[in-house]
């Protein structure tokens, strides 16, 4: 399995400091500044991906229709409100596409009275961050929404899990400075991050002051906080699948970059260019390197599955026309 070393935010920050030192810039850069630069870089790279190669950001969720309702909220983590596709999940026949339409078609598809067993179309209400189903669907229909996911903010790691002791306790390699049991502080709610993918497994509330001798953190089995940023607080490490090698950070965020090369290199170079600009250093070479990486981001899909593409001169490309071609007669 691939190493996650290059994906940990702490390592990305160390790389930026090293690059700055090589350019005779003071390497003692505040964590807050580096995190700000890295998150700005992640936002920029996400927008590039969304316009050129959205596959790494695509995810889905489902909702169930209610009576007399045709408008439904777009997921809160939807990047730029960009919904890609809607499907009606029919238990008997499987998913069925719902056609995307323009709001000009609303008057043609909307029924004054009506409810339908399967919506025929949908369009986005951008300002309200909603999708509108046409005609008005019946209650109880399951709709699957495919959309571009906004990546979580990156923060420093608060420790790597060495052992999951039980459903509410973990042993870390070190106790992070931000971990606290004080309900008023951000570090009282921690995210468990998958050590390989960077995905959020769950969010738990710290129960007591961490033991800095044994590096054990204990979480509440009955949280007094129900949710943070609309992410539900969990009550069991076992339920969310916490495992050795996962990471802990202030939640709900992530301490690992969720997309790999050239995404991570782009973010490092972007942050480095910003640091150089802030310090008044020469940024021409830094921005030239950044422009090269931007091209890589835009063409991340180039060459993928090229052997599966059908060439234009193939008979499979024009099957009907090929039937009318006269056979080639060879000279004897």
Whether residue 132 contacts residue 123, with contact meaning beta carbons closer than 8 Å, is answered with: yes
Q: How far apart are CA 302 and CA 186, in angstroms?
A: 42
Residues of the chain scoring pLDDT < 50: 1-2, 308-310, 312, 314-332
Parent domain of 242: 5-50+152-250
- Clarify whether residues 172 and 239 are in a common domain: yes
Q: Is residue 313 part of a domain?
A: no
- The number of folded domains in the chain is 2
Q: Is residue 170 part of a domain?
A: yes
Q: How far apart are CA 181 and CA 300, in angstroms?
A: 43
- Clarify whether residues 9 and 98 are in a common domain: no
DSSP notation for 18-38: HHHHHTT--S---HHHHHHHH
Point out the domain boundary residue: 119, 149, 179: 149
Q: Is residue 290 part of a domain?
A: no
pLDDT for the residue numbered 302: 64
Q: Is residue 264 part of a domain?
A: no
The model carries a pTM of 0.80
Cα 136–Cα 137–Cα 141 angle in degrees, nearest 5: 160
Point out the domain boundary residue: 213, 228, 250: 250
- Clarify whether residues 83 and 205 are in a common domain: no
Give percent helix, percent strand, percent coil of the chain, each to the nearest 5: 30, 30, 45
pLDDT (tens digit, 9 = 90+) per residue, 220-239? 999 998 888 888 999 999 99
pLDDT (tens digit, 9 = 90+) per residue, 67-99? 888 899 999 999 988 999 999 998 777 889 999
């Amino acid at each position: 399995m691939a190493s996650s070393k290059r994906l940990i935010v702490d390592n990305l920050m160390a790389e930026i400091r090293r690059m700055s030192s090589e350019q005779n810039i003071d390497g003692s850069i505040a964590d807050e500044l580096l995190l700000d630069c890295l998150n700005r870089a992640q936002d920029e790279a996400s927008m590039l991906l969304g316009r050129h190669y959205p596959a790494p950001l695509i995810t889905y969720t489902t909702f169930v229709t209610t009576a007399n309702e045709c408008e439904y909220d777009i997921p809160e983590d939807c990047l730029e409100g960009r919904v890609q596709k809607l499907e009606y999940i029919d238990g008997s026949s499987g998913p069925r596409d719902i056609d995307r339409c323009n709001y000009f078609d609303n008057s043609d598809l909307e029924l004054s009275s009506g409810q339908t067993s399967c919506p025929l179309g949908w369009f986005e209400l951008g300002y309200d961050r909603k999708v509108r189903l046409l005609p008005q669907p019946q209650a109880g229909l399951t709709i699957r929404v495919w959309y571009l996911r906004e990546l979580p903010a990156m923060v420093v790691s608060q420790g790597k899990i060495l052992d999951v002791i039980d459903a509410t306790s973990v042993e870390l390699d070190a106790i992070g400075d931000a971990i606290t049991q004080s309900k008023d502080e951000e570090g009282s709610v921690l995210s468990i991050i998958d050590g390989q993918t960077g995905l959020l497994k769950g969010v738990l509330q710290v129960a007591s002051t961490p033991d800095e001798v044994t590096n054990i953190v204990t979480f509440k089995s009955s949280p007094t906080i129900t949710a943070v940023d609309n992410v539900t607080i969990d009550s069991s490490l076992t339920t969310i699948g916490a495992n050795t090698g996962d990471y802990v950070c202030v939640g709900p965020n992530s301490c690992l970059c969720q997309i790999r090369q050239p995404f991570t290199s782009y973010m490092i170079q972007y942050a480095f260019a910003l640091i150089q600009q802030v310090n008044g250093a020469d940024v021409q070479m830094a921005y030239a390197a950044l422009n090269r990486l931007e091209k890589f981001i835009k063409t991340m899909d180039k060459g993928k599955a090229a052997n599966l593409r059908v060439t234009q001169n193939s008979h499979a490309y024009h099957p009907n026309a090929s039937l009318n071609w006269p056979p080639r007669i060879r000279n004897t």
